[in-house]
Amino acid sequence: MLDLGLKGKVAVVTGGSEGLGRATAERLAAEGAHVAICARRPEVLERAAAGIRKAGGQVLARSVDVTRADQIEAFIGEVAREWGGVDILVNNAGTSAAASFEAVDDAAWRDDLELKLFSAIRCCRLCIPHMKKRGGGRIINITNLGAKAPAARGLPTSVSRAAGINLTKSLANEYAPDRILVNTICVGLVKSAQWERRAKGDLDAFYKDIAKRVPVGRVGEAEEFGDLVAFLVSERAAYITGTAINFDGGLSAVV
């Protein structure tokens, strides 16, 4: 078995109650990390936490609105007091928002940037000092394929996610001397609760239909995403920073 060296590490996963965030939290906890998850809906969050505990993992779960700076600060502070610091940050919070340019007003732009960009900025600002004290760390910013190759009517998400890639590269360059490695995963079509809510009728048929666009012929699994995150935050990925990795089954025309 490949030892990822995550036992005893402290990981923060935003948007950790379901889908990709939950799969990531479960994978990190299975590797022996102490995992702190946050999301807005307490009942969904607690179900995720209960599953991790049942599997023997260490988890701290708090209801947090990541667009609220005070709530993020309180959450990260509690994690640091509980477990002595932070080693890993996965900025996963966010939902898809795709519309034509003329349909997106100022409020929608502000809301999307607060949720996807400023929440990541604030979490990084709070966690990086802890990582410096611990001799290094890992940050993973979750973005999407539109950040590299935006399609028509993909606003405001494509812009906020492109900013996430820029933030990733900027932080990777600045904090490499502190052994803090920063990468982003650009997500394509992956099974998630968001897709489940959009599907009409037969979920399997829905996934089969959208998979026609994917070269490998299927939609990705959340657990596969969790595996990728676990590798990138591990000691086995100590030479990887400043990268934007497509997790898309070959869907994107841009590498």
> How many alpha carbons fall within 13 Å on the CB side of residue 9?
27
pTM of the predicted protein model: 0.97
- The total of other beta-carbon atoms located within 10 Å of residue 105's CB is 10
Ordered structural domains, the chain, with CATH: 10-190+222-247 (3.40.50.720)
The whole-number average pLDDT for the span 1-24 is 95
- Does the pLDDT at position 1 exceed 70? no
Determine the length of the chain.
255
Q: Are 115 and 72 contacting, i.e. CB atoms less than 8 angstroms apart?
A: no
At a CB cut-off of 8 Å and minimum separation 6, what does 1 contact?
A: none
Task: Give the list of residues 6+ apart from residue 73 with CB closer than 8 angstroms, or none.
Answer: 122, 126
102 burial level (CB within 10 Å; 0-12, 13-18, 19+): exposed
Mean pLDDT of 37-60: 98
How far apart (Å, rounded) are the C-alpha atoms in residues 255 and 251?
A: 10
Read off the pLDDT of each residue in 140-166 and give the average, rounded to a whole number. 98
Q: With helix as H, strand as E and coil as C, how does 185-203 read?
A: EEECCECCHHHHHHCCCCH
Token pair of 181, please?
């490695």
Residue 39 has pLDDT above 80, yes or no: yes
pLDDT over 70 (residue 140): yes
pLDDT tens-digit map of 190-248: 998 888 888 878 999 999 999 999 999 999 999 999 999 999 999 999 999 999 999 99
